[in-house]
Structure 1
Amino acid sequence: MHPRIRLELAKRWSEPHREHHDTDHLAEVVRAVDLLASSGMAFDIDTVNTAAWFHDAVYDVHRADNVERSATLAQRWLGPGEGDRIAQVVMATTDHVAATGDVESAVLCDADLSILGADTERYDRYAHAIRVENLHVPDAEYRRLRSRVLARYQARSELFATAAARELWEDQARENLARELTRLGRPVAV
């Protein structure tokens, strides 16, 4: 990626309204990609890392189309070919489900969700940061919406798309989701 593009993306990731979707999150996603690569998985690491830089490049808590806008930004800034592929990988983070056989999208989705499998203290800081980003949402509504998102993840037979990610983060992620759902006042499926 051209240094000018990286600099412009770094500015976006550093916007003051970001509590979780910030440079720390980007660094964690890139570290998770590296960890998955070191597990022996075969994928195009440059594609995934470029997509990581773009995946939350546009982030406005008042809009529901941030992923689409981030993908469009990749297409515009990177041009045909590379931009289209990066946009495709970024779009998988809409629901964190990769198309069958799209290993790069699976890796980015797993790296983005790796925060769910963080240790308890880091996960709790993440959950707090998500709430801070959404302070404009009344508490009861936030609890309902957040519970719905977490319950969708909890209902998956496997949270992560790749075996390496499941080995690294699945068990801790299940514990974290159950703990936060309980805190939000939603019954936890066992």
Structure 2
Amino acid sequence: MELVGFEAWAALAGDSPTSRTEWALVLEAWGQPHRRYHDPAHLAAVLGIVGRLADAAADPDAVRLAAWYHDVVYDPRRGDNEARSAERARAGLRGLVPGERVEEVVRLVLLTAGHDAGPDDANGAVLCDADLAVLAGPPDAYAAYASAVREEYGHLSDAEFTAGRIAVLEHLLGLGRLYRLPEVAGEWAPRARANLAAELSLLRARAGGASDVSAPPRSAG
């Protein structure tokens, strides 16, 4: 995939032996066999949307780098993947890009834990909107995404997963603005909210109204 090829990476982090090694390690992490949704296809999709929305960002290259790292650490059994991904970004980018940009990448990766970018956070808006774009897909594409997420949490019982997924969906539906950028919000938000509400209704029916089991899934996009 061109969007995750070395040329795309080198445009951000340079062409050096260290950069080539880091690119290979990042792609290796994204290709771990336990990933069913948070895989190289998701990375490419987010990078593609970031590219489309880049004019809205204050630092498009920082957003692109944050996309590369936003799920670089992904273990469904843990709840600190965003923090660990942010630290992986800080370590991996040291010496490849200016320190100020590294810290912005770290901040952006951490922001994907809640996808609640502030009103003046242009970089955060672009990254979060790109990461959550999957929620606004056609119903069949959304169903495939939800099914893939369930596969990633195969270690949880149906009751545990249902409770956790309900919490994720309620959080997303509770956001004041699901998408921040006006150029996408008008089209994407109604579709996303319809998809989320439909899944939530199905899961609540499955749970019989009980949603207090611990160990919820954390990732939405």
TM-score (norm 1): 0.91
Residue 159 of structure 1 aligns with an amino acid whose one-letter code is: L
Pick the structure with greater CA Rg.
2
Write the distance in 1 (CA, Å) between the matches of 2:57 and 2:122. Answer: 8
Shift of 1:85: 1.6
Q: Is the 8 A contact 1:90 1:105 kept in 2?
A: no
**SS of residue in 2 equivalent to 1:185:** helix
Distance 2:200 2:77 in 1: 23
Kindly provide the CA deviation profile for residues 9-68 of structure 1, in whole angstroms up to 9, marking residues without a partner as x.
Answer: 11110000000110111111111112223xx52432211111000000001111111100
* CA deviation string 1:77-107 (max 9, x = no partner): 1123332121011111010112442211121
Matched with 2:7 is none
Structure 2, gaps ≥5 residues long: 1-12, 14-18, 210-221
SS of corresponding position for 2:176: coil
Tell me the distance in 2 between the aligned counterparts of 1:42 and 1:15. 30
Q: Which of 161, 165, 172 in structure 2 is aligned with 1:146? A: 165
Picking from 88, 96, 116, the partner of 2:107 is: 88
C-alpha separation between the residues in 2 aligned to 1:68 and 1:113? 19
Q: Is the 8 A contact 2:35 2:152 kept in 1?
A: yes
C-alpha distance in 2, partners of 1:54/1:168? 27
1:58 to 70, 73, 85: 73
Name the % identity.
38
CA distance in structure 2 between the partners assigned to 1:185 and 1:3 by the alignment: 47
> Residues of 2 paired with 1:151 and 1:32: CA distance?
25
Aligned to 1:13: 30
Number of equivalenced pairs:
185
